[in-house]
Copies of this chain bind each other. A is one copy, B any other.
């Protein structure tokens, strides 16, 4: 086999994947070198680990049933030619890799908690190193496995299933035009996994948290993380299943699908009517993969900048974490230029600015998230103050703070999309048709901006997954009755974790929004491909085939926003995030209620529990949370899979596109609203607990606790679930496109 430069570039992707996995392994090894501390600490850590393991086991068993059903459905669709034959298998690998990432991430996080507590007893920097190393393992496993999955499939398709001889440029480009659309359907495995992880994990973590607080703190009057509380282990398990496994699966999905969507958009952008445009689709498809590989390398470099002095203040801790991310982003900025230059050439150097705009948008959205949710800024401080007037005012003000905070991200995403569209050569001269030449190039630029935002995911996710580890370490320090100094240090680490969690959420939402945007366009490309496949090409030129496909598309699809199909689809799409949020919030309420009943029962029936003489039955609470999570994740999952198909059958392809746009707009905004309102309520409460406005136990504090109770499912269940919703709807639509088109063509033929 011979290779040309562009094709060689693709090998950077598996290289980056292996590098990421190797680094994750090294980091894991470094974590395991630390001691888990005293026997009591080991015992507690073991309970948490076992609880998390039990949750994952049950979760994966439940998910396996869903995957089994879906493989059959997808298999049948493949059999009838409504789907390519690779999708069922890719569905499995996507789910498998995402699940593995979640499993390993939980494993390391639940192994690092006691070690962080022990290390913190020796020094703050040491504690930070352990917790952050554990976060890094999660970050790099997600990136490594994601990139690995994509690379393996890419090379399988290229060299095994669609092989070509020699290095003929036109053939290579025609080849990628075959490969890219196939890969587009591959996101569904990772997306399904993300939904279950987000909803299941979100229900678990908040049921445990709210349940533990309602009975423990409020009724029994014992402090947080008190070992007498039967729900305390479940609460610590929840931190892991929600913030580690859930967040990881969510970003795994964004990462994978923004890359495949950009890959798919490279084809219409640089390959038109059988002719190569500019550098051609092979070079253009290489860009996101190379960018991802570069991102791995610079993220690893970034991690070495995360260190602090022994007696660091909280501010310098934050600075240390930030430094790592900034170094990584800076290096991407520097490295992306030659990547674009060598792959796309001087004429398309504008694409570089699309990449820049994605990076900048990510930083800006995170900054605004921090502004609205951190108690070092006005909004949350003012929210805190309104608690003095009672629960009503802090709730109204929290809701309006959340609503207000949606404006900036929308404007940022809007500007970023416009900049990347035009920078990548997009033009609004529609004379060539909407997907002719430069318009598609602009959309390719938008896709790249999403990839760019996610390129440093390794280190971003590390800062994020570090939080729950520090949180758990604090819990263990409390339960194992360690020196109060240790708890102080873990609190410093934890408090930082709240800030990185907030910015991480902004980042997760921003990237989900851009990824979903790219997917809508990719969906339409997918429709075009399916239609083109069905055309009898005998004796037709490539141009004639394209024209015939366009004519066929015009029969069944009209994307004008005034088409009633699009408008109604839009309305239905916009209502889905509301439905989804309602279901998940109610789910948390029900699950928390069952925990309340169980904790009350244990307090009553287990003699000597309150005196610390008897041991609580932690496992019962973990089991309850696990069961609730499994049960409650079914209805949202059914909605996400069924609604796009039903809308497609009733309103056709145009209705589906309307639905995707509507759910993107409403879901993106609702997700930000819920995350920021929840974060602000949480921090407003913490601000009072820090001694402001009367401190703990004051009326203001009681009002703030009500705000926090409402905010919990907002920020940790419904809000994050919406990230997945908006992406998964698109992915499901893409996978079922063949079915919908066949039905539309049948109906069109039937009526005409």
List A residues at the B interface (Cβ < 8 Å).
210, 214, 218, 386, 389-393, 395-397, 399-401, 403-404, 406-407, 410-411, 413-414, 417-418, 421, 426, 428-431, 434, 442-443, 446, 517, 520-521, 524, 554, 558-568, 570-575, 578-579, 581-583, 585-586, 588-589, 593, 596, 657-658, 661-662, 664-666, 668-669, 673, 705-706, 709-710, 713, 752
Contact = CB atoms under 8 A, between A and B. Distances in A.
A411 B566 CA distance: 14
A559 B430 CA distance: 11
Q: Which 5 A-B pairs have the closest CB atoms?
A: A392-B709, A403-B582, A574-B665, A400-B582, A403-B578
Contact of A407 (B578, B673, B713, B752): B578
Given A395-B395, A578-B406, A713-B396, A428 B567 contact: no
Given A391-B706, A559-B561, A574 B666 contact: yes
Given A400-B581, A578-B406, A417 B567 contact: yes
Contacts of A393: 589, 709
A657 B421 contact: no
A669 B574 contact: yes
Contacts of A665: 570-571, 573-574, 662, 665-666
Given A399-B582, A406-B579, 19 more contacts: A390-B706, A392-B705, A393-B709, A396-B585, A396-B586, A396-B710, A400-B583, A406-B578, A410-B571, A410-B574, A414-B571, A428-B563, A430-B558, A443-B562, A443-B564, A559-B560, A561-B566, A571-B665, A575-B669
A225 to B, nearest CB: 20
Contacts of A434: 558, 560, 562-563
Nearest to A397: B589
Nearest to A566: B561
A746 B720 CA distance: 44
23 contacts: A214-B389, A389-B593, A390-B706, A392-B710, A396-B588, A396-B589, A397-B585, A400-B585, A403-B579, A403-B585, A404-B578, A407-B579, A410-B571, A410-B572, A414-B572, A417-B564, A429-B752, A560-B560, A560-B561, A571-B669, A574-B665, A574-B666, A578-B673
A391 B443 CA distance: 47
Contacts of A560: 434, 559-561
B417 A657 contact: no
Contact of A661 (B218, B401, B570): B570
Contacts of A391: 391, 706, 709
B386 A589 contact: yes
A658 B214 CA distance: 45
A396 B392 CA distance: 13
A561 B564 contact: no
A567 B407 contact: no
A712 to B, nearest CB: 9
Contacts of A407: 575, 578-579
Given A434-B562, A669-B578, A586 B397 contact: yes
A656 to B, nearest CB: 11
Nearest to A395: B710
Contacts of A413: 568, 571
Contact of A430 (B389, B418, B554): B554
A464 to B, nearest CB: 25
Contacts of A575: 406-407, 410, 669
A214 B390 CA distance: 10
Contacts of A713: 396
A574 B669 CA distance: 8
A564 B669 contact: no
Given A392-B706, A396-B589, A565 B410 contact: no
Contacts of A589: 386, 393, 396-397, 400
Nearest to A662: B665
Nearest to A702: B391
A668 B572 CA distance: 11
A411 B70 CA distance: 28
A428 B706 contact: no
A26 to B, nearest CB: 42
A358 to B, nearest CB: 15
Nearest to A592: B393
B564 A421 contact: yes
A661 B561 contact: yes
Contact of A564 (B418, B586, B657): B418
A510 to B, nearest CB: 12
Given A391-B391, A669-B578, A565 B396 contact: no
Contacts of A389: 214, 593, 596
Contacts of A571: 410, 413-414, 664-665, 668-669
Contacts of A392: 210, 705-706, 709-710
Contact of A395 (B386, B426, B558, B706): B706
Nearest to A588: B396
A431 B752 CA distance: 13
Given A410-B571, A434-B563, A710-B392, A404 B579 contact: yes
A582 B395 contact: no
A282 to B, nearest CB: 25
Contacts of A570: 661, 665
Contacts of A566: 561
A389 B600 CA distance: 14
